[in-house]
Chains A and B, each alone.
Chain A
Amino acid sequence: MTDQAQKNGGNAWQSEKFLKNLTKRKRAERRFRLTGLLAIITALTLLAILLFSIVSKGYTAFVQTFVTLDITFAESVIDPNGTRDPVELRTANYTKLVQNSLREKFPDVTGRRDLRRLFSLVSGDADIKLREMVENDPELIGKTIPVSLLAGDDVDMVNKGYIDRNLVEDDRRVKDKELAWLDVLEADGDIAIRFNTGFFTNGDSREPEKAGIAGAMVGSFYTLIITMVIAFPIGVMTAIYLEEFAAKNKLTDLIEVNINNLAAVPSIVFGLLGTAGRRFDARPDDIADNYHCGPCRHPRRTGQHSPSGPWPRCVKSTGGVPPYPAAVHAGHPDRNDYRPVASTR
């Protein structure tokens, strides 16, 4: 070093070798920095793609298509006797009103199949709305007013652009005729898109346009509450114990490692703990209800139960129903009567 330093006028920091090395190191530095930035950017890009994908696929569920029809609240359909009896109004055939209105709008549609397609333009829920209208205001009977009704799921999908109109008819869920009707409705300004309030107020349904998350939300809410009630006090008390009271010994260590481990146990293993726990849970009522007996998971009345199975306890220890042969099981006593069959009948 000293030799070189003297050669370069006494300054080692300016030697050619050193400068070359420095450039290299600075480049390596920049490269490293860039790699780090790149890693973060890819992670954020993935996040952005995820959010975009979810939002772009999901946002249309928050709006729904409505069809406005001129509904004639015909007295002959709703209240043929003219009594205005609430029971009569409640049980009347409001679907018929919708169908009549659609027939009027498209008088040239005939044939069972075509009519069924025509009627499916409007959700099967439409009659409930009409019934509520009439119940709230029986004066409506005999009048004809435009009513905005929830569209059927296929109409909704076409309107939101999820069904390709250019597809060959055979490959398309919605046929040419329906598209033509839709175009007529569209041209008359009878189709509207509105916020999907049913999504938040309905339970699950087989009809997509009626399906909502209310039931699921209630379930999630209760699960949340119960989890909180269990986890919060126990967790806080454990923390206080471990931090403030516990001596540093093997037991404390064990508890601490164990808690950390519980947090990392796959959730599905906890799920299996719940399943297996049902072996203690089978109540006599469940059995008599023709309900699933916990882990046995098959209805008692199918006669499939094998008394020699691995779950003798779920039969034996709960309510004293002895392990019957399958045939006896098939004719299990009624609800609330879970005395041993052999002694009662």
Chain B
Amino acid sequence: MSFYPLLIVLLLMSAVGYWFGSKKALSTVGKSSNFITPRPHQFGLYVVIWALVPPVVLGALWAMLQVTPIQMDTGAMRQIDRVVFPVLLLLAAGAGLYFSILRINPDLRVRKTIEGVIYIILILASIISILTTVGIVLSLLFETIQFFGKVPMSEFFFGLTWSPQTALRADQVGSSGAFGSVPLFTGTLLITFLALCVAVPRGLLSAVYMPDYASSKFRSVVKPMLEILAGIPTVVYGFFAALTVGVFFRDLGDSIGIDVVSESALAAGVVMGMMIIPFVSSLSDDIIMAVPQSLRDGSYGLGATKSETVRKVILPAALPGIVGAVLLAVSRAIGETMIVVMAAGFAANLTANPLEAVTTVTVQIVGLLVGDQEFDSAKTLAAFALALVLFIVTLCLNVIALIVVRKYREKYD
């Protein structure tokens, strides 16, 4: 039996169970020795739980078995899949239904069971996030191990040339690719640095300015406008960087006699900085707000001006939190894909000059995976290795930042 008929039968069974359960509960209610008994519909739910949980558990186990590399296609296994398993499922549901209805009496503590099931569902829901992380790590790890079987680790981490072209046949020219990832990481860092140069001062200053200086009218207008920056899809930023900012910097460079390529790191960095301004400002805003009013009052009481209070009291007090906010912004900038794909170059240059084209880790991952690829070549597997490094770097940044911010919050709680 296939999935949907099975599901419909199970649902019908539980509906019948609900009806019988609540009916039996009503008919037996007079015999209760307790004053408080659960509502009839709770008995119904109890029956539904017993009708649904065993088949769902069975189904989950069966699905798990199918992912394992056991040979599933033998005739016997197919027979089990088509006939034995659905029958087993329905039997389990029927048994659950029957015995739970049998057990119903007013003193049965069905609410405890219902609570327990809800509790387990909630736990499962929150564990999905952990499973996702594990899934990411495992899927990247397998491919990365494959990759390091083809390319030595030392070349990947310390090599200075990145040229992932591999030929189809071994006898073709240039068949050996170079997989030194250093230029990618320097490029990423360069663009991230430029983005932070744009975002951190503006974000921080606006976070300081808004609560202490701005009138509430100004704030109510300007703050949502700044938040717009965070809501713009990154692909739109990409267009802006590639078609407007990149060209603008190139023309500007031409007019003053400096050679600026149109896909310069500067353009991508500035636009990415724009994107993370609201990120920095809203995070630091929270953090500055968390500085206790008593510190400000003390400072004002000593006769300090607002700017002195901000510079000498609030900022030092909020520093750890701000560092955390900046780290989160860094991790966001490192992982940003669409802006750099559209605005930064594809050629891996090892340079610190923001006027030249650099490439980033994310750009290369996209480049390696776009189009038809052989998934057993080092070229494609390199994307997974890059992604794993990217994941680890952002993970470390995030965890450090989260811990810092949390410690900071606890300090003033």
What is the distance, in angstroms, from B119's C-beta to the closest C-beta of chain A? Answer: 6
Interface size on B, residues (CB 8 A): 80
Say whether B140 contacts A242, CB under 8 Å. no
What is the distance, in angstroms, from B295's C-beta to the closest C-beta of chain A? Answer: 18
What is the distance, in angstroms, from A229's C-beta to the closest C-beta of chain B? Answer: 14
Say whether B384 contacts A44, CB under 8 Å. no
**Which residues of chain B in 229-252 are interfacial with respect to chain A, using CB atoms and an 8 Å cutoff?**
229, 232, 236-237, 239-240, 243-244
**Contact of A54 with B239 at beta-carbon distance under 8 Å, contacts A262-B129, A269-B335 already known:** yes
Give the residues in chain B near A46, CB-CB below 8 Å: 229, 274, 277
Given A310-B375, A320-B71, 20 new contacts (CB under 8 A): A29-B307, A32-B307, A47-B229, A237-B125, A241-B119, A241-B123, A261-B398, A264-B332, A264-B398, A265-B394, A266-B334, A268-B337, A270-B136, A277-B139, A297-B375, A298-B374, A309-B374, A309-B376, A310-B381, A311-B375
Interface size on A, residues (CB 8 A): 69
Bound CA–CA A26/B382 (angstroms):
58
Question: Of the candidates A42, A266, A297, which one forms a contact with B374 in the assembled complex, judged by CB atoms under 8 Å apart?
Answer: A297
Q: Which of A112-120, A146-154, A252-260 contacts B (4 or more CB under 8 A)?
A: A252-260
What is the distance, in angstroms, from A243's C-beta to the closest C-beta of chain B? Answer: 10
A39 part of interface (Cβ distance < 8 Å):
yes
Say whether B395 contacts A261, CB under 8 Å. yes
- B374 nearest CB neighbor, chain A only: A298
A111 part of interface (Cβ distance < 8 Å):
no
Say whether A254 contacts B130, CB under 8 Å. yes
What is the distance, in angstroms, from B322's C-beta to the closest C-beta of chain A? Answer: 15
**Which residues of chain B in 190-227 are interfacial with respect to chain A, using CB atoms and an 8 Å cutoff?**
201-202, 205-206, 208-210, 213, 222, 225-226
Bound CA–CA A234/B328 (angstroms):
24
Q: Which of B126, B369, B376, B391 has the most CB of A within 10 A?
A: B126
SS class of chain B's interface: helix, strand, loop or mixed?
Answer: helix
0/1 interface trace, chain B 108-142, chain A, CB 8 Å (1 if under): 00000000000101110111111011011001101
Bound CA–CA A262/B132 (angstroms):
8
A172 part of interface (Cβ distance < 8 Å):
no
Q: Name 11 A/B residue pairs within 8 A (Cβ), A-sorted.
A: A28-B307, A40-B222, A44-B225, A245-B123, A261-B402, A266-B334, A268-B390, A270-B136, A272-B384, A295-B375, A304-B374
B366 part of interface (Cβ distance < 8 Å):
yes
Say whether A32 contacts B222, CB under 8 Å. no
Question: Of the candidates B126, B380, B383, which one forms a contact with A242 in the assembled complex, judged by CB atoms under 8 Å apart?
Answer: B126
A50 part of interface (Cβ distance < 8 Å):
yes
Bound CA–CA A255/B320 (angstroms):
23
Bound CA–CA A33/B335 (angstroms):
34
Say whether B136 contacts A54, CB under 8 Å. no
Say whether A240 contacts B376, CB under 8 Å. no
Say whether B236 contacts A47, CB under 8 Å. no
A316 part of interface (Cβ distance < 8 Å):
yes
Q: Which of A233, A257, A259, A310 has the most CB of B within 10 A?
A: A310
Give the residues in chain A near B213, CB-CB below 8 Å: 33, 36-37
Give the residues in chain A near B229, CB-CB below 8 Å: 43, 46-47
A11 part of interface (Cβ distance < 8 Å):
no
